[in-house]
Amino acid sequence: MTVVQGIVLTGGKSRRMGKDKSTLYLGGKSFTEHIIDALLSLTRDILVVGPEMDFKNFKGRFLMDIYADKGPASGILTGLTESTHEINLILSCDVPLIKDCLLKDLLNRYKGEDVLICKQGNQVHPLLGIYHKRCSTIIKNCIEKNKLKMTDILDELKVEYYSVPDIWKDQLVNVNLPGQYEKLKNEYSN
């Protein structure tokens, strides 16, 4: 197993969804459990940044954001700060279709840059990628300057992009709206 820390971000406000996305269910498991399952074939070292939840067989740690109300940047910083590894797989909780095959390929493509994030066509997924622990200093500086947009933070780092193969593009489905969730549940059950 590669020496990597899995970090799942679950602390978002979920304003557009109207309820906590991390606890939405798909096929009998929460979104967060789907993410953890994808990570478990790569690492047993998993941190969940967000409110504590009850998952059977999950031995990881739950952490609260170092900086409250500072968006995903704070979640990433919290995870990187608490990580015991240099290489960290960061995933938001709203991509429940992610599978270990994509994550393994992402890890295989990693060459030591600050950040390697997924993209599909022109769509960049900054909350689905590898962040080196050394990024924590720059991310912290950005947060302290209230520079919270992920695109602005990434401009400060050495970033490479992993073009997700078309056969795996469905794994990038990001669920933010009630209609998207209902559609996904219907497709998943068929």
What confidence tens digit (pLDDT) does each residue in 73-98 have?
Answer: 999 999 999 999 999 999 999 999 99
Using CA atoms, how far apart are residues 160 and 127, in angstroms rounded to an integer? Answer: 14
Structural domain boundaries, residue 114? 5-189
CATH value at residue 163: 3.90.550.10
8 A C-beta contact, residue 95 and residue 57: no
- The 8-class DSSP code of residue 88 comes to E
Number of domains in the chain: 1
- H helical segments located in 53-177: 71-82, 100-109, 135-144, 150-155
Question: Taking the model in full, what pTM does it have?
Answer: 0.92
Q: How confident is the model at residue 8 (pLDDT cuts 50, 70, 90)?
A: very high
Give the number of other CB atoms < 10 A from CB of residue 70: 17
The rounded mean pLDDT for the chain is 90
